[in-house]
Amino acid sequence: MRERVAGALTTQAHASAVAISTFHSVGLRIVREEGSALGLPRGFSIFDPPDIEPIVAELAATADRSQTRAIQWKIGQWKNALVDPASALKQANDGDALVAARAYAGHRDALRATAPWTSMI
């Protein structure tokens, strides 16, 4: 990406003055710089979906990888919609939703037990 930007600019000096980042790395930099305002401890960790998959599988008591991924996706939907675990449990209208809501209820505690310095946003 940096090479493409450098090629598009007229001089190399201009290219070195430009901050080049992905959306996610800019977001992470902002969260790290402003973490205390967000209530995050110094040195917090962010888990990627593959890191969380075994935790979700254990919470849902399943070895079915597709079910685990579906639950992770549902938890992500709830988090994006600012639905807390208690509300997710109340909204669960079938067996799959109930399994996902129960996993969501234990999600944060399980992640903190795995890495106490971790904060999930």
Domain boundaries defined on the chain: 2-33, 49-114
- Whole-model pTM: value is 0.67
Report the pLDDT averaged over residues 87-111. 90
pLDDT beyond 70 at 106: yes
Give residue 14's pLDDT: 62
pLDDT at residue number 61? 93
User: Residue 67 pLDDT more than 50?
Assistant: yes
pLDDT of residue 16: 64
Contacts of 68 by beta carbon, 8 Å cutoff, 6+ apart? 53, 56, 57, 60, 62
